[in-house]
Structure 1
């Protein structure tokens, strides 16, 4: 990213230098005939001011158009945060459920004095473990 900034800065510096040189070379006054009056204006103002206005208007329009993209990005970022909180909650519930699960040592067959459930012999392995 710093390389791109350097390149952009150099291009802007060259453009600014070209504008200054253009202003120096085209400083002579020209008469602009308005409807109500005639006005002497330096030639570089007749070219650089409309150019600057065009750049500003273009920048503003691009910024306005990008507003929709910025708004969608904010919505998506908010949705990602909500989903991450949901996933964290599910992980916490899963961990809690795993912690509460009955271990094989606590099955009725392993505890003296408790009879195994119907249909399961005393020596049968607990379900799910092999």
Structure 2
């Protein structure tokens, strides 16, 4: 234990595997899943679209991101139903347990993007 009281793990500089997180990921693979439906949505401007996200395990911190080609991911919703700063009220999140939704009301042409339901372990997406 170090002087600060934090337990230190010995990881030799010459270790053949310098990324211990890969081992953790390998152990977790297949245990955590996210299913988003539908995978592609066509919407008429002014309509309402609902995107669904089903987790393989209960998670209380689901976030939704919008991604457009050539742009950084944009956080829309965090902690299931909290809108990020500057996100219009027509974007709303809901759900509990393993089932979550992102609803976009009054859809606009500028909403065309990939939408990602994010939990700690996986990152599938939907295309609108």
Give the TM-score category using the shorter length. Answer: under 0.3
Structure 1 or 2, whichever has the larger Rg, is: 1
Per the normalisation by structure 2, the TM-score is 0.21
TM-score (norm 1): 0.21
Q: Per chain length, whose mean CA-contact separation is higher, i.e. which structure has more relative contact order (CA < 8 Å, sep 6+)?
A: 2
